[in-house]
Homo-oligomer: A and B are copies of this chain.
Amino acid sequence: MLYPTPIAKLIDSFSKLPGIGIKTATRLAFYTIGMSDDDVNDFAKNLLSAKRELTYCAICGNLTDDDPCAICQDTSRDRTTILIVEDSRDVSAMENIQEYHGLYHVLHGLISPMNGIGPDDINLKSLIERLMDSEVTEVIVATNATADGEATSMYISRVLKPAGIKVTRLARGLAVGSDIEYADEVTLLRAIENRTEL
């Protein structure tokens, strides 16, 4: 397509985003031109400041604009429990339910033998260091319920159990609101295995 250079460049920038092809990028670029000056200036400023100001917490690896992050600094939180997640979005999902009050550890990935990602390629070493001489008694593995998530969870459990730390993981079963009819077989299997008394 023949577009004036400024819009062609903007389309190019949009199309670098995941899941955005050339047609969507074009639609977004044209929409942006129709936006108010303030909105576009804010957008550009927010892009730069998110990239510039955000860093990873030196303790837990969570994305933060303040190192150590607010959660690690919060003395009111339970320091005997660490919940392990794949990325910062999982921390937010967990914080959102306002039920967990311990600390976190963000792995920035999962062990994936198929893709050649081993324990040293994710933020695991710092977890081991963090657990040495700490007051942590339980580690909750909250990785996704996928093959890589399971592999990571198995690895962590094998490494930490000999050190006398209780390792748990999130329950597997039917998602709330879901139909048995449409549940996959493995989920149903786990749901029967892990049945609870009423």
Chain B residues with CB under 8 A of A51: 32-33, 35, 37, 40
With known contacts A28-B17, A32-B17, A95–B50 Cβ distance under 8 A = no
A187 at interface by CB-CB < 8 Å = no
A9 at interface by CB-CB < 8 Å = yes
Mostly, the A contact residues are: helix
With known contacts A6-B46, A6-B49, A42-B13, A1–B32 Cβ distance under 8 A = no
A125 at interface by CB-CB < 8 Å = no
With known contacts A48-B44, A65-B6, A92-B1, A54–B27 Cβ distance under 8 A = no
Q: Assess the A50–B63 pair: CB atoms within 8 A.
A: no
Contact pick for A18, options B18, B27, B40, CB 8 Å: B27
Chain A interface (Cβ < 8 Å from any Cβ of B)? 1-7, 9-10, 12-13, 16-20, 24, 26-33, 35, 37, 39-54, 63-66, 87-89, 92-93, 95-96
